[in-house]
């Protein structure tokens, strides 16, 4: 600064300069390294019409067949969907839906008949679908205690605050706590095949393998209680809206009871969108040539426990076969075909442009 | 001006209030009955910005003037406070909280570091101030010499200063150790003129400083270095006080250094912050680059987006909730606390929660990355071996890394002349006698050092045969030896023959080219031995001492542009020797001689040499008597002394005989001309601001090709303002209008060739005229003229005037980016004023370097600094900024869109770890590497084609157009990511075992597409793939995958919710997820690929392709 102009002698004292960069040490030539001189060997790609053209064609040629394949696959998937909410008065579940009360001892049962016009050949997956159900609402999503669900004993009796207002029932802590667990989907769906003789046969539904393996085996664990779930949960209360405590979810199968009940685990994986489906049961393909679900009449027996009309929700049953890409969804096929065609068209356009540009380029180069 | 004011002073009719009275040595004077010691400021210099007390508030205030810092403070407060006060906000935060609080601390830590570093800098300044303020000086008090600290000097103190010491304050010279009452001073650190200037003692004071009883009245301090008006009353034994007028020649300025004088005594008139030097320096203000301003503008836009997003979401939330059953369905009841909270408070906290949720759109990490980029990037400047100068063994120095990118935006370069463009090292190149050119080669190779390169006679022998030629030669050399005001340094023994090999003999002169001429004559055998009691001694070729009696010196002045001496030789001949600019000599000599010389002069001038013509005249005794009496009379005149002297000068300097011309080279810095050409090629306007004389400066400009022969010069100097019958102001007005017409209004073609010369005195008229005569458009006119000229030269600039010019241009329309280059302390104020200040590590101390933002050893390095480094830095940082805004926009947009599908409940789409790590780990390194290593055009190409610099001019990459492009791209990407996955999730059963995906899978798929797309987008933009780029780009993608596996692979005991447990692995097990990721990435990148392909390869690209 100006003050220092007094001393002509002070040639190189302190640098009053700012924070940084006073990199060079005195009397030292900067290193002549490629890095410091910004001369690192470098690949310098230049995207031109010429180099991108083939890529476009290749992408187009790959994507369009994939898209077609996906589209066909998706179309081959058989899917049947039926709404059993009971909104309209002619619906079989109208009464159940209308007269719903929480504190009934006698469950309301209704039966929905439907016909499959095509046989479902391979394994059939049975989903329940809910609409206008905000499982992704923030207050809802966070309302769980993964520690408790993982069998943590301290969390069992003292659940996380996130579970409010489903944390305690009176003074007793709820297990499993939280809004998600509390609103567990508890309709029971039983499917019957009505054959041509009008004889009714129940279709066996497999309730295992519907949840992620890691969830069932690692993330969800029952609290330790020497194999006796009733004992393990003895200091807890059942969720307010549940009819029975968690250790009675599947009393017959200890591997599917308590927190590791697969229906429960599936429910606990909150859906992304307000309209969603969750896997309910699997109908295994029988050996032999008989289709899993032959075409014909079916009867769906619903134990109607789950009210959705209060928030204008809908309940559906979905029967679907599955391919390697999952359930039926034409979107991927269409997307691939679209992107593939766009690339192909662009390839053509670019070819023209490239051709023209090339001409211009060379003609421009000649005079120079 | 000075005269007029002096007249006013002496006339006493207009006694100015703003004068100060100084009692020399604090002795009361008899005239005043009461001695009131006047109060002046002390001699303390304060250059520091803060004190211990005001540091924190003042610095904090400055920090928070940056919008971003303020914003981060607010967000930080919201996040911290909210967790204690507002429930909903808290829960949102706890959703995102995991690292969030820690990342919010980041800017705060960053801020603390900034504050500390500024505190340290200020401490250094305090230290430097102290060093200066505690400097010991000698004060004469009551006949004793007392050592005092410099800061304790009071106005009125009599100080003694020794040789080579710097004056501690502005002094009036009272006594000098030299017999003739003069002292020599160099003002290199003030105005850059390194020659010695002569200052004079006040008459009648030399003898008795100790008992001197006097008062000084002078004007209040003002910054003009060349102006000083005052008078001194000297009281002697109750006699009537004698009055002496004081001018700038009596004033020794603080900062100047005493030379060739053992010691002087002087009385302090201005001290401390009132010295002319202090008034000429301005504080160092924090410079902000244009990129930073753009960032702030963009930031405001994004803040608006953020606030409107939050507002939209809040509104929608309440609209959505108003539908029956939506707000609180049976499955999702509110807590008691939530129910009890006031509705409006709820709304407010909801709004805040959305702000927190979306606040990632304002990239905190961008500021960190920008700082890192600047800090690390500036190393490339100091590492550059091209900037290494083997002479001083130093490379470039970066004082501020904040301005790297500004180097790519420069529109005006203001350069100092002395020491910057030139080496300030005059050299006699050639002369021309009677139309014959004599070029000096090497003295040893020729018998007498002469070499005739053209002209009728080709050999020395032949030439020697013609007596008249030799006579002319000798006359010419005698003229060179006599016609000057040079003094010889060191003692000469009277009458002793000095061997002629004293090349290294010291000469002192007010103008370096006089020295060059004397030295030139010395090489040709005529050595000037010195001036002793009015006798000039010359050692001629035959080693005889010739004596000439010096009768009169007709001083140089810029109006006449010549000087003369009248000498009498031993033989009694009276001779007048005159030298001066060709334009002022040619009309005054016999015309038949002119043509022979004119050609040489013009050619020399074209070569950039400074030419002078030499003429002589015999004076008959009668003539001499007439002149002598005329001069004496004029010198004694009290009124219009200068005019009268001028009249006599003009009268005597007529009818002379032209002998020849000289050419002196003011050595340019290495590659100065090439550098200037390159800068002009880059569309940069170069202004030369110098404290030097106009002639000197002009020839330099010609030499470094700033001015070309065929260009028109528009001059605006005191000389051009001298117009019979008009006031200066009117003439100035006319001239300005005329030039304005020429440059601005007339055709575009012509004006590109005009240059402008401005003279300091005129400039001050231009700048100050507004108040005086209501023609306030002078400044604008002037500016418009200058801006339409290709180059502008401003001469006789005081340091502050240089800064004023810079400021004027800086604040003109379009606020162009200015850069100042200088090497001396006189350039400091303009270095500080300009957007970018460059210091040359020259010979004149380190002032400029210390105050500069960048320091380079030589002027030639400016080319690479601007064209290559500046260009690259700008492109890098501009891309960095745009990319950051883009990547955060397409990061947050899906989050925003998700609100429409989750009841506007502030549910984050991504997991907390992803939210936090996105900017810190997943996407920050590739852009950092890009912003450090990118060379979209190779350095060689940039240096070759200066025009490339124009492509990025005017902040081209950060204007609203590109910003809009990037924003739209971000929006497009955000839409593609979100809705692509949304369509996919219309059936969430995406696995081949029929199992369904949940909301975290949704977020993870979107996030994966996002990370890959933004990284690949950067890869597409990268033109220069070093292994580091490869490593960082592919590495960060790999790191993302690895991290996701790792993060989802373990049940983390410290996490309350294991949201991502095996989500990523499950996603990868789904073919559909793979397919959608691939197709969406490709779809997002399509427009970018198209853009890159279709963008017409401009010049260098095309060439690169061809190569």
Using the structure block, give the residue that is written with the tokens 């040359």: B840
Structural domain count, chain B: 4
Which residue of B162, B329, B1073 is the best one to mutate when testing the A interface, meaning the one whose CB has the most A CBs within 10 A? B329
Answer yes or no: is pLDDT of A265 > 90: yes
Residue A146 CA to residue A259 CA, distance in Å, equals 11
Domain closes at, from B644, B665, B686: B665
Whether residues B892 and B779 fall in one domain: no
Q: What is the pLDDT of residues B751-781, one digit of tens each?
A: 333 445 555 555 655 554 433 444 456 677 7
Residue B562 lies in a domain: yes
Whether residues B834 and B937 fall in one domain: no
Cα angle B874, B876, B881 (rounded to 5 degrees) comes to 95
Residue B1073 lies in a domain: yes
Which of the residue ranges B10-14, B71-75, B399-403 would you say has the lowest mean pLDDT?
A: B10-14
Residue A133 · residue A290 · CB < 8 Å: no
Answer yes or no: is pLDDT of B1035 > 70: yes
Residue A103 CA to residue A98 CA, distance in Å, equals 14
pLDDT at A46: 75
pLDDT at B1100: 42
Answer yes or no: is pLDDT of A218 > 80: yes
* CB contact residues (below 8 A), chain B span 162-181, against chain A: 164, 166, 168
Element (H, E) at B344: helix B343-358
Answer yes or no: is pLDDT of B701 > 90: no
Tell me the shortest Cα–Cα distance from A202 to chain B, in angstroms. 22
**Which of A32, A63, A282 is closest, CB to CB, to B994?**
A282
Please judge whether A52 and B1089 are an interchain contact, meaning their C-beta atoms are less than 8 angstroms apart.
Answer: yes
Q: Which of B335, B321, B362 is nearest to B905 (CA)?
A: B321
Residue B104 lies in a domain: no
Q: Which of B450, B484, B436, B429 is nearest to B699 (CA)?
A: B429
Answer yes or no: is pLDDT of B1012 > 90: yes
pLDDT at B30: 59
* Most confidently modeled range among A14-23, B417-426, B604-613, B1011-1020: B1011-1020
Q: Which residues contact B56 (CB under 8 A, 6 or more apart)?
A: none
Please judge whether B379 and A144 are an interchain contact, meaning their C-beta atoms are less than 8 angstroms apart.
Answer: no
Residue B326 · residue B903 · CB < 8 Å: yes
Residue B177 · residue B266 · CB < 8 Å: no
A178: nearest CA in chain B? B332
Cα B747 to Cα B690, B742, B743, B785, B1012: the distances in Å are 30, 8, 8, 14, 55
Residues of B in contact with A310 (CB under 8 A): 325, 329-330
Whether residues B621 and B632 fall in one domain: yes
Tell me the shortest Cα–Cα distance from B965 to chain A, in angstroms. 20
Residue A93 · residue A112 · CB < 8 Å: yes
Q: Which of B288, B114, B127 is nearest to A16 (CA)?
A: B127
Buried b or exposed e, range B767-793, using 16+ CB within 10 angstroms? bebeeeeeeebbbebbbbbbbbbbbbb
pLDDT at A79: 93
Q: What is the pLDDT of residues B985-1003, one digit of tens each?
A: 999 999 988 899 999 999 9
B392: nearest CA in chain A? A27
Please judge whether B902 and A343 are an interchain contact, meaning their C-beta atoms are less than 8 angstroms apart.
Answer: no
Residue A257 CA to residue A251 CA, distance in Å, equals 6
3-state DSSP assignment of residue B575: strand
Q: Which of B691, B662, B658, B647 is nearest to B601 (CA)?
A: B662
Share of chain A above pLDDT 90, in %: 45
pLDDT at B971: 95
Tell me the H-state helices in A6-102: 49-76, 94-98
3-state helix/strand/coil string of B758-781: EEHHHHHHHHHHHHHHCCCCHHHH
Residues of B in contact with A150 (CB under 8 A): 1051, 1058
Please judge whether A66 and B988 are an interchain contact, meaning their C-beta atoms are less than 8 angstroms apart.
Answer: no
Please judge whether A30 and B384 are an interchain contact, meaning their C-beta atoms are less than 8 angstroms apart.
Answer: yes
Cα B835 to Cα B289, B779, B1063: the distances in Å are 7, 21, 52
Tokens representing B991 are: 């696995």
Element (H, E) at B109: helix B87-133
Which of the residue ranges B220-224, B841-845, B861-865 would you say has the lowest mean pLDDT?
A: B841-845
**Which of A29, A63, A327 is closest, CB to CB, to B987?**
A327
Using the structure block, give the residue that is written with the tokens 């100092």: B416
Using the structure block, give the residue that is written with the tokens 């506007």: B904
Share of chain B above pLDDT 70, in %: 78
Answer yes or no: is pLDDT of A243 > 80: yes
Whether residues B643 and B533 fall in one domain: yes
Residues of A in contact with B115 (CB under 8 A): none
Q: What length is written for chain A? A: 368
Residues of A in contact with B336 (CB under 8 A): 164-165
Tell me the shortest Cα–Cα distance from A166 to chain B, in angstroms. 9
pLDDT at B488: 74
Whether residues B920 and B784 fall in one domain: no
Domain closes at, from B840, B866, B892: B866
Q: Is B864 annotated as a binding residue?
A: no
Question: B524 — phi, psi (to 5°)?
Answer: -90, 10
Tell me which of B1032 and B713 has the higher pLDDT.
B1032
Q: Which of B161, B489, B700, B991 is nearest to A322 (CA)?
A: B991
Q: Is B415 annotated as a binding residue?
A: no
What DSSP string runs through B605-645? HHTT-EEEEEEEEEE-HHHHHHHHHHHHHHHH-SSSHHHHH
Q: Does B982 touch chain A (CB under 8 A)?
A: yes
**Which of A12, A14, A214 is closest, CB to CB, to B1061?**
A214
Tokens representing B396 are: 């470039």
Tell me which of B883 and B610 has the higher pLDDT.
B883
Residue B220 CA to residue B229 CA, distance in Å, equals 10
pLDDT at B537: 82
Please judge whether B329 and A311 are an interchain contact, meaning their C-beta atoms are less than 8 angstroms apart.
Answer: yes
Tell me which of A265 and B492 has the higher pLDDT.
A265
Residue B192, domain CATH: 2.70.150.10
pLDDT at B491: 44
Whether residues B820 and B905 fall in one domain: no
Q: What is the pLDDT of residues B936-992, one digit of tens each?
A: 888 998 998 888 898 888 888 888 999 999 999 999 999 999 999 999 999 999 998
Residues of A in contact with B127 (CB under 8 A): 14
3-state DSSP assignment of residue B399: coil
Please judge whether B992 and A322 are an interchain contact, meaning their C-beta atoms are less than 8 angstroms apart.
Answer: yes
Tell me the H-state helices in B50-86: 55-64, 67-82
Residue B314 lies in a domain: no
Tell me the shortest Cα–Cα distance from A229 to chain B, in angstroms. 23
Whether residues B801 and B719 fall in one domain: yes
Please judge whether B399 and A18 are an interchain contact, meaning their C-beta atoms are less than 8 angstroms apart.
Answer: yes
Q: Which residues pair with B216 in a beta bridge?
A: B22, B232
Answer yes or no: is pLDDT of B444 > 70: no
Whether residues B376 and B501 fall in one domain: no
Instruction: Give the β-pairing of B685-689 and B412-415.
Output: parallel
Residue A305 · residue B320 · CB < 8 Å: no
Residue B675, domain CATH: 3.40.50.1000
3-state DSSP assignment of residue A244: coil
Residue B351 lies in a domain: no
* CB contact residues (below 8 A), chain A span 188-247, against chain B: 209-212, 214-215, 218-219, 241
Please judge whether A22 and B398 are an interchain contact, meaning their C-beta atoms are less than 8 angstroms apart.
Answer: yes
A8: nearest CA in chain B? B845
Q: What is the pLDDT of residues B787-820, one digit of tens each?
A: 777 778 887 777 777 888 888 888 888 888 899 9
Answer yes or no: is pLDDT of A26 > 50: no
Q: Which residues pair with B86 in a beta bridge?
A: none
Tokens representing A123 are: 């394994």
Residue B565, domain CATH: 3.40.1110.10
pLDDT at B476: 86
B335: nearest CA in chain A? A165
Tell me the H-state helices in B165-289: 188-191, 276-279
Residue B128 lies in a domain: no
Quote the radius of gyration of chain B (alpha carbons, Å): 38
Residues of B in contact with A41 (CB under 8 A): 1026-1027
Answer yes or no: is pLDDT of B207 > 80: no
Residues of B in contact with A46 (CB under 8 A): 1023, 1097, 1101, 1104-1105
Q: Which residues contact B780 (CB under 8 A, 6 or more apart)?
A: none
Residue B192 · residue B419 · CB < 8 Å: yes
Residue B334 lies in a domain: no
Residues of B in contact with A209 (CB under 8 A): 993
What DSSP string runs through A116-184? ESS-B-S-EEEEEEEES--TT-HHHHT---HHHHTT-HHHHHS--GGGTTSSEETTEEBSS-SHHHHT-
Average pLDDT over residues B460-485: 71
Residue B969 CA to residue B893 CA, distance in Å, equals 12
B180 carries an active-site annotation: no
Structural domain range at position B876: 364-381+871-1102
Whether residues B724 and B828 fall in one domain: yes
Q: What is the pLDDT of residues B556-565, one digit of tens each?
A: 776 677 888 8
Residue B375 lies in a domain: yes
Residue A221 CA to residue A226 CA, distance in Å, equals 13
Whether residues B767 and B826 fall in one domain: yes
Please judge whether B1057 and A146 are an interchain contact, meaning their C-beta atoms are less than 8 angstroms apart.
Answer: yes
Q: Which of A307, A310, A273 is nearest to A137 (CA)?
A: A273
Tell me which of B485 and B81 has the higher pLDDT.
B485
Tell me which of A83 and B7 has the higher pLDDT.
A83
- Environment class of B1009 (CB within 10 Å of its CB; exposed 0-12, middle 13-18, buried 19+): buried
Whether residues B766 and B898 fall in one domain: no
Question: B729 — phi, psi (to 5°)?
Answer: -65, -40
What is the 8-class DSSP label of residue A203?
A: P
Catalytic residue among B170, B191, B416, B853: B416
Tell me which of B316 and B32 has the higher pLDDT.
B316
pLDDT at B772: 40
Residues of B in contact with A331 (CB under 8 A): 983-984, 986
Q: Which of A303, A231, A229 is nearest to A260 (CA)?
A: A229
pLDDT at A28: 65
Q: Does A11 touch chain B (CB under 8 A)?
A: yes
Q: Does A122 touch chain B (CB under 8 A)?
A: no
Average pLDDT over residues A246-255: 89
* Chain A with chain B: Cβ pairs closer than 8 A: 392
Q: Is B411 annotated as a binding residue?
A: no
Residue B785 · residue B744 · CB < 8 Å: yes
Whether residues B375 and B246 fall in one domain: no
* Most confidently modeled range among B157-166, B247-256, B846-855, B1014-1023: B1014-1023
Mean pLDDT score of chain B: 78
E runs forming strands in B104-181: 136-141, 144-149, 158-162, 170-176
Q: Which of A32, A191, A27 is nearest to A113 (CA)?
A: A191
Tell me the shortest Cα–Cα distance from A58 to chain B, in angstroms. 13
Q: What is the pLDDT of residues B489-517, one digit of tens each?
A: 654 444 444 444 444 456 766 677 788 88
Domain closes at, from B617, B648, B665: B665
């Amino acid at each position: 600064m100006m003050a220092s102009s007094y001393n002509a002698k002070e040639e190189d004292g302190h640098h009053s300069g700012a924070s940084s960069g006073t990199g060079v040490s005195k009397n030292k030539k900067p290193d002549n390294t490629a890095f410091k001189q910004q001369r690192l060997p470098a690949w310098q790609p230049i995207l031109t019409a010429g180099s991108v053209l083939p890529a476009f064609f290749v992408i187009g040629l790959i994507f369009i067949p994939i898209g077609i394949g996906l589209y066909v696959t998706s179309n081959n998937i058989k899917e049947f969907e039926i709404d059993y909410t009971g909104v309209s008065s002619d619906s079989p579940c109208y009464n159940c839906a209308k007269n719903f009360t929480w504190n009934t001892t006698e469950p309301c049962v209704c039966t929905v008949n439907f016909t499959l016009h095509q046989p479902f050949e391979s394994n059939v997956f049975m989903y329940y679908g809910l609409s206008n159900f905000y499982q992704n609402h923030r207050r809802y999503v966070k309302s769980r205690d993964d520690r408790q669900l993982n069998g943590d004993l301290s969390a069992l009796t003292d659940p996380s605050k996130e579970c409010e207002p489903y944390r305690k029932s009176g003074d007793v802590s709820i297990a499993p706590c939280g809004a998600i667990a509390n609103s567990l989907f508890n309709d029971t769906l039983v499917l019957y095949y009505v054959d041509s003789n009008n004889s009714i046969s129940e279709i066996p539904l497999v309730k295992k393998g519907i949840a992620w393996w890691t969830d069932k085996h690692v993330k969800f664990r029952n609290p330790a209680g020497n194999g006796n779930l009733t004992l393990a949960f003895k200091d807890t209360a059942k969720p307010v809206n549940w009819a029975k405590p968690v250790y009675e979810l599947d009393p017959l199968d200890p591997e599917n009871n308590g927190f590791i009940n697969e229906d429960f685990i599936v429910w606990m994986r909150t859906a992304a969108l307000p309209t969603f489906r969750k896997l309910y049961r699997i109908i295994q393909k029988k050996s032999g040539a008989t289709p899993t679900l032959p075409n014909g009449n079916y009867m769906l027996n619903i134990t109607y426990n789950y009210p959705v009309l209060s928030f204008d929700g809908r309940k559906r049953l979905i029967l679907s076969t599955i391919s390697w890409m999952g359930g039926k969804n034409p979107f991927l096929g269409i997307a691939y075909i679209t992107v593939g065609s766009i690339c192909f068209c662009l390839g053509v356009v670019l070819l023209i442009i490239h051709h023209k540009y090339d001409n211009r380029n060379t003609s421009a180069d000649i005079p120079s | 001006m000075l005269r007029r004011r002096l007249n006013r002073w002496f006339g006493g009719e207009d006694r100015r209030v703003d004068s100060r009275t100084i009692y020399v040595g604090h002795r009361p004077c008899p005239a005043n009955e009461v001695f009131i010691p006047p109060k002046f400021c002390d001699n303390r210099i304060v250059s520091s910005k803060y004190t211990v007390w005001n540091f924190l508030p003042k610095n904090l205030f400055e920090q928070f003037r940056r919008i971003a810092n303020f914003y981060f403070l607010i967000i930080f407060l919201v996040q911290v406070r909210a967790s204690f006060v507002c429930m909903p906000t808290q829960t949102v935060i706890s959703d995102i909280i995991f690292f969030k609080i820690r990342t919010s601390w980041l800017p705060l830590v960053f801020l603390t570091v900034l504050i500390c570093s500024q505190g340290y800098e200020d401490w250094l300044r305090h230290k430097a101030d102290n060093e200066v303020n505690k400097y010991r000086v000698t004060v004469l008090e009551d006949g004793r010499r007392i050592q005092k600290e410099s800061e304790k000097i009071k106005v009125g103190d009599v100080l003694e200063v020794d040789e080579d010491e710097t004056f501690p304050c502005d002094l009036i010279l009272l006594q000098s150790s030299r017999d003739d009452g003069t002292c020599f001073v160099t003002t290199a650190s003030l105005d850059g003129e390194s020659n010695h200037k002569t200052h004079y003692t006040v008459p009648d004071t030399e003898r008795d400083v100790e008992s001197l009883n006097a008062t000084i009245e002078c004007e209040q301090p003002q910054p003009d270095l060349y102006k000083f008006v005052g008078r001194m009353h000297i009281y002697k034994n109750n006699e009537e006080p004698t009055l002496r007028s004081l001018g700038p020649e009596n004033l020794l300025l603080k900062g100047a250094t005493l030379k060739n004088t053992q010691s002087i005594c002087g009385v302090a008139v201005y001290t401390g912050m009132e010295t002319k030097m202090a008034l000429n320096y301005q504080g160092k203000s924090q410079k902000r680059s244009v990129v930073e301003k753009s960032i702030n503008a963009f930031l405001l836009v994004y803040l608006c987006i953020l606030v409107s997003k939050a507002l939209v979401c809040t509104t929608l939330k309440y609209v959505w909730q108003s539908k029956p059953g939506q707000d609180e369905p049976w499955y999702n009841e509110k807590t008691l606390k939530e129910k009890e909270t006031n509705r409006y408070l709820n709304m407010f906290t909801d709004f805040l929660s959305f702000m927190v949720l979306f606040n990632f759109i304002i990239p905190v990490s961008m500021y960190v990355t920008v700082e890192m980029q600047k800090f690390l990037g500036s190393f490339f400047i100091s590492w550059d071996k091209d900037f290494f100068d083997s002479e001083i063994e130093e490379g470039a120095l970066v004082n501020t890394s904040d301005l790297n990118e500004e180097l790519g935006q420069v529109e005006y370069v203001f350069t100092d002349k002395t020491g910057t463009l030139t080496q300030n090292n005059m050299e006699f190149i050639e002369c021309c006698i009677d139309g014959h050119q004599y070029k000096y080669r090497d003295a040893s190779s020729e018998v007498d050092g002469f070499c005739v390169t053209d002209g009728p006679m080709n050999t020395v022998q032949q030439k020697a045969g013609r007596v008249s030629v030799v006579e002319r030669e000798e006359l010419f050399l005698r003229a060179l030896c006599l016609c000057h005001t040079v003094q010889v340094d060191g003692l000469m023994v009277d009458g002793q023959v000095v061997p002629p090999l004293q090349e290294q003999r010291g000469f002192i002169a007010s103008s370096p080219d006089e020295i060059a001429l004397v030295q030139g004559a010395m090489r040709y055998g005529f050595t000037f031995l010195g001036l002793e009691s009015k006798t000039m001694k010359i050692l001629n070729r035959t080693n005889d001492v010739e004596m000439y009696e010096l009768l009169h010196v007709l001083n140089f002045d810029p109006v006449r542009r010549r000087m003369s001496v009248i000498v009498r030789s031993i033989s009694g001949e009276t001779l007048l020797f005159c030298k001066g600019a060709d334009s002022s000599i040619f009309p005054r000599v016999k015309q038949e001689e002119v043509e022979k010389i004119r050609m040489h002069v013009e050619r020399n001038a074209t070569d950039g040499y400074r030419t002078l013509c030499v003429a002589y005249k015999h004076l008959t005794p009668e003539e001499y008597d007439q002149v002598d009496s005329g001069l004496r009379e004029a010198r004694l005149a009290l009124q219009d002394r200068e005019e009268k002297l001028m009249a006599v000068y003009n009268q005597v300097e007529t009818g002379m005989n032209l002998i020849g011309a000289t050419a002196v080279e003011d050595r340019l810095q290495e590659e100065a001309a090439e550098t200037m050409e390159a800068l002009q090629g880059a569309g940069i306007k170069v202004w030369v601001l110098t404290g030097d004389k106009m002639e000197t400066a002009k020839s330099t400009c010609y030499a470094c090709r700033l001015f070309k022969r065929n260009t028109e010069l528009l001059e605006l100097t005191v000389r051009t303002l001298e117009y019979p019958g008009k006031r200066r102001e009117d003439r100035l007005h006319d001239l300005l209008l005329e030039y304005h017409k020429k440059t601005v209004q007339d055709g575009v073609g012509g004006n590109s060739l005009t240059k402008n010369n401005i003279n300091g005195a005129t400039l001050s008229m231009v700048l100050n005229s507004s108040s005086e005569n209501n023609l306030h458009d002078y400044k604008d006119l002037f500016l418009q003229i200058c801006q339409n000229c290709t180059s502008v030269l401003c001469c006789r600039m005081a340091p502050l005037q240089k800064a004023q010019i810079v400021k004027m241009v800086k604040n003109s329309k379009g606020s162009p980016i200015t850069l100042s280059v200088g090497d001396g302390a006189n350039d400091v104020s303009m270095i500080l004023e300009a957007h970018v200040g460059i210091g040359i590590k020259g010979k004149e101390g380190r002032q400029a370097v210390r105050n500069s933002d960048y320091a380079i050893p030589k002027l030639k390095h400016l080319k690479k600094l601007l064209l290559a480094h500046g260009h690259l830095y700008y492109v890098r940082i501009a891309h960095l900024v745009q990319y950051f805004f883009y990547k955060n926009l397409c990061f947050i947009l899906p989050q925003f869109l998700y609100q429409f599908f989750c009841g506007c409940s502030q549910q984050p789409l991504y997991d907390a770890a992803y939210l936090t790590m996105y900017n810190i780990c997943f996407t920050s390194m590739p852009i950092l590497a890009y912003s450090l290593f990118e060379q979209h055009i190779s350095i060689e190409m940039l240096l070759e084609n200066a025009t490339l610099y124009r492509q990025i001019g005017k902040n081209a990459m950060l204007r609203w157009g590109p910003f809009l492009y990037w924003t739209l791209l971000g929006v497009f990407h955000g839409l593609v990511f979100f809705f692509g996955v949304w369509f996919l999730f219309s059936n969430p059963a995406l696995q081949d075992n029929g199992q369904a995906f949940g909301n975290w899978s949704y977020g993870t798929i979107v996030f994966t597409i996002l990370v890959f797309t933004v990284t690949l987008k950067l890869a597409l933009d990268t033109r220069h793939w070093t292994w580091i780029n490869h490593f960082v780009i592919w590495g960060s993608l790999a790191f993302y995958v690895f991290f996701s596996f790792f993060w989802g692979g373990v049940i983390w005991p410290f996490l309350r919710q294991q949201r991502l447990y095996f989500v990523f692995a499950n996603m990868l097990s789904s073919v559909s997820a793979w397919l959608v990721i691939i197709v969406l990435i490709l779809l997002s990148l399509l427009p970018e690929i198209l853009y890159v392909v279709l963008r017409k390869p401009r010049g260098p690209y095309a060439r690169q392709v061809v190569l």
